[in-house]
Amino acid sequence: MDRTRFSVEDDSSILDEMPLMMSEEAFENEESDYQTLPRARLAQRRRGLGWLLLGAWKLLCGSCCDCLLRLCRRRKELKARTVWLGCPEKCEEKYSKNIIKNQKYNILTFVPGVLYQQFKFFLNLYFLVVACSQFVPSLKIGYLYTYWAPLGFVLAVTMVREAVDEVRRCRRDTDMNSQLYSKLTVRGKIQVKSSDIQVGDLIIVEKNQRIPADMVFLRTSEKTGACFIRTDQLDGETDWKLKVAVGCTQRLPAVGDLFSIKAFVFAQKPQLDIHSFEGNFTREDSDPQIQESLSIENTLWASTVVASGTVIGVVIYTGKETRSVLNTSSAKNKVGLLDLELNRLTKALFLAQVVLSIVMVALQGFVGPWFRNLFRFVVLFSYIIPISLRVNLDMGKSAYGWMIMKDESIPGTVVRTSTIPEELGRLVYLLTDKTGTLTQNEMVFKRLHLGTVSYGADTMDEIQSHIVRSYGQVSAQVTHQASSSTTGGTTPSGKSQTAGPRVRKSVSSRIHEAVKAIALCHNVTPVYESHGNGETESAEADQDFTDDNRTYQASSPDEVALVRWTESVGLTLVNRDLTSLQLKTPSGQILSFHILQIFPFTSESKRMGIIVREESTGEITFYMKGADVAMASIVQYNDWLEEECGNMAREGLRTLVVAKKSLSEEQYQDFESRYSQAKLSLHDRALKVAAVVESLEREMELLCLTGVEDQLQADVRPTLELLRNAGIKIWMLTGDKLETATCIAKSSHLVSRSQDIHVFRSVSNRGEAHLELNAFRRKHDCALVISGDSLEVCLRYYEHEFVELACQCPAVVCCRCSPTQKAQIVTLLQQHTANRTCAIGDGGNDVSMIQAADCGIGIEGKEGKQASLAADFSITQFRHVGRLLMVHGRNSYKRSAALGQFVMHRGMIISTMQAVFSSVFYFASVPLYQGFLMVGYATIFTMFPVFSLVLDQDVKPEMALLYPELYKDLTKGRSLSFKTFLIWVLISIYQGGILMYGALLLFESEFVHVVAISFTALILTELLMVALTVRTWHWLMVVAELFSLACYLASLAFLSEYFDRSYITTWPFLWKVSAITLVSCLPLYIIKYLKRKFSPPSYSKLSS
């Protein structure tokens, strides 16, 4: 088996030929297993000539553009560096400036940039060409203002909107760059702006101040030599992280001594990974020279905030090279799918327009200057693609944004990008963060299980009474021992409890042991807020340990929940530093413990341990807590652990197994010597250290099992169920641990109880990824849980295959994801599935993902506003997503689809009339309606009723939320497709033909009567067609219809140059207009009635 794996690893060329279906267990699989070539490779072969013409052209253009870009801005290669303390001038090369820049444009690029963004769309470019053609006298058809006024209006609105956004971004950047910091120099402290900080500077950062650049932590005002920082804007985690100052510089007597030593930091080249760092600190002027290795705990990354004390650091990375900037992708201009579809339809209309013009010229017989006539016909039929399409859609989008913000059911919702509200109705994938988005990130202790007895939230008072009683007895024993020792005898340390036969412990003593273990085995530090000067400080031995100003800090909120619980039952952690901790008993007595060793939690070991010596008795105890999978083999045999862990997990609780082992002084001394030796070894250090620790982890006494609940946000479960029923696939991307992520996936019902979960094994190379993907392929209908490292390996070698398999899963959980990986997953889904994606998060670490997605939603949460400011839509709670998508997404898409097609119909109907008119009058390129008639038709006569379609709705909001399955239809894009477009084209041709031929048949003598009859019938037809399209009437729609009709009737009095006033007040005019309008509209009303009767849409069945 191993031989197979090694051969697979070594020869990567074999892997290219090997089918992904091959398994490690049996290469003699069935024929059906040998799906030798994945879809991607087949697709490449099928491309053929089409690809050669289109793809190759795109490739050529793309590569040329890339080369030009690379020449314009050559990216400097990132290198490792040596940084001398306080000597920026000694740097070997010039590093990037410490400037934050989120602006898209500058003064020179603003106008060209905005114009490019507008005219890269075919629709706008087409209008520009048509408008410019009117400057040529021989091509001039009508008045210049009929072409330039709408185009100028669209561009002006766009430029103003972009300018406002750009000014806001510029102000935010200026605020960040001009923040002042204290810089240490030989002459003392000076104030510098954040943007003037350089690599090598010694910067002082006060409590609650943002760290301006990536630094190595040299000194702190805290006596422990460590400080806490808040990293919520970097990795999304709200718990504080403990950072340790470099020992050599922390031991210096005064701050000024940093300039009296000759020292440098060697730092690795700037990288994306925020969880790792490798470097060395070297002091040259001592004999022998001092060297200290630097790791992640000695770093202070930019965008984090100092939470305790004052820190001094040496800057190692600035500006673009900081971890936070490397993990932030630049914002892209988002374009909705509906806009792209309309862009395609306008290209089809343009093609039809050119063909129609060629037919006209051909029927003329290509006589005279036919080329000029051809262009005149193109301009004449330019109303096929109406410029009001852009204006109407942009105004519609603004209206939808206003409706979303005014919806009282989702208060506090803000629409930041007004161009993509229709995207909310087309989503297939929802990628969500976990901490703060699905959960409140507030841990609550729920259950303690001792094997024979279990305590829940309602029986915690029993534990409290046991603790009060047992510590009362202990203190009595201690006073008795103290009095006996003064009279002559001493108790041998470490032997008092272990001596004597093992008897079954009482429940009270077991609770005492369990609570004590939970109170000692952790990495929590109590922090006190002193009321005098607002400084935070770790408690000192002589300080008053009052409960009201104590807060706990740890790298895991689970640990804080456990320590808070021990405080609630009577055993309180009051002080901790790097070498000792102190507990306060219910009676107020202080128990002191000396910390001998700490074994921190890692994702590989899944457990943490601590060895402490109780100062009053001298007892040495090794406590350990961890995940059940890691602890099951370490603790003594028992018959309840596995079953109870399963029960708690089903309740959505995060379980931890707690165990202990008493050590004699000799045992500990032996362990310490072996452990120190292992830590100094140069080869396989981690393996040797783990082996020594494992020698202790045998036959440990199982104390208890704890259950902690991460409280979910309000209504998360029903919201996720609603989204699932709507056909939306949900992926959870989190920076948290695998166990935590799996637990939340279960408790939030992201993964249903009946579903299996496939945890993707940790893979580090191509061969392992190959075998693990095969194992995963055999699983059906199971949720996938994968870590960021394994994901990276899979994407490097088997991108297409992995995405194909993952997309078949009902739910996917990616844990330990970096911000860049989150964005990468979004991009992958967009490329491989061509479906619309939505990303939702609440922290600075979610910004890249939100910006990469087609639609980004930010939640204003505890982790600040960074995500909500970068998002397209900002909400206050996760549960608002349901209404945002089901109701507003549906309405925005349906309304825009109807509005877009109706505006096109309005242009096509008049172009059909123009074509009929020209063909009757010997194919003359003369306009049918001139000047104000055309402007009035597109604006005041029909604009309000057509725009009132933004108030239409096919389903009531309650119905859309009750039947989320209706959302599935939207993702298929049936409201705006070539089929619906073709139906509107046929309607336009029929109506345009009837109106024009009818007017030509029924007019008597004057040509001006043709204009009067056809134009009046056209206006009435448009108003009736709006009424036909509407599904739910709103009072404003009725007002718009009546207002437009009144405007037209009133204008008849002023348009004497177009109409014969004496004729339009006669009966013949009225009956002719009525007859033509009836023939053009009645058949469509009959067809609509029959369709509703015999083939009603799904939503109408629900409405009835």
Q: What are phi and psi of 205, to 5 degrees?
A: -120, 125
Q: What are phi and psi of 51, to 5 degrees?
A: -65, -40
Cα–chain center distance at 323: 18
Task: Please give the helix or strand (H or E) that residue 1079 lies within, else none.
Answer: helix 1067-1094
Cα–chain center distance at 995: 53
Are the beta carbons of 397 and 405 closer than 8 angstroms?
Answer: no
How is residue 640 written in tokens? 């309840």
- If one counts every other C-beta atom within 10 angstroms of the C-beta of residue 256, the result is 11
Angle between helix 788-807 and helix 766-777 axes, rounded to 10 deg = 40
Q: What are phi and psi of 221, to 5 degrees?
A: -75, -15
Closest CA to 805 of 787, 823, 780, 824: 780
Are the beta carbons of 121 and 115 closer than 8 angstroms?
Answer: no
- If one counts every other C-beta atom within 10 angstroms of the C-beta of residue 931, the result is 15
Give the whole-angstrom CA distance, residue 710 versus residue 559.
Answer: 12
b/e map 563-596, b = 16+ CB within 10 Å: bbbbbebbbbbbbbbeeebbbbbbeeeebebebb
- If one counts every other C-beta atom within 10 angstroms of the C-beta of residue 379, the result is 23
Going by their DSSP bridges, the two strands 427-432 and 590-599 should be labelled as unpaired
Which strands sit side by side in the sheet containing 855-859, from one edge to the other?
Answer: 414-415, 873-875, 855-859, 836-841, 427-432, 729-733, 811-815, 782-787, 756-759
Residues 6+ apart with CB under 8 A from 892: 397, 400, 421, 422, 424, 425
Query: Radius of gyration of the chain from Cα atoms?
Result: 37
Give the whole-angstrom CA distance, residue 1077 versus residue 1017.
Answer: 5
What secondary structure, in 3-state letters, does 33-84 show? HCCCCCHHHHHHHHCHHHHHHHHHHHHHHHHHHHHHHHHHCCCCCCCCEEEE
Closest CA to 784 of 804, 762, 756: 756
Measured in residues, the chain has a length of 1104
Give the whole-angstrom CA distance, residue 341 versus residue 901.
Answer: 11
Is the preceding peptide bond at 600 cis, omega within 30 degrees of 0?
no
Instruction: Tell me whether residue 433 is one of the annotated catalytic residues.
Output: yes
Are the beta carbons of 242 and 523 closer than 8 angstroms?
Answer: yes
Set 433, 558, 628, 842: catalytic member: 433
Specify the 3-state DSSP secondary structure of 107.
Answer: coil
Closest CA to 434 of 754, 653, 711, 628: 711
Angle between helix 557-568 and helix 507-520 axes, rounded to 10 deg = 140
Give the whole-angstrom CA distance, residue 535 versus residue 774.
Answer: 57
Closest CA to 960 of 1035, 1033, 1038, 893: 893
How is residue 665 written in tokens? 């002084």
Ramachandran quadrant class, 250 (left: phi over 0; alpha: psi -120 to 50; beta: rest): alpha
Instruction: Give the catalytic positions in this structure.
Output: 433
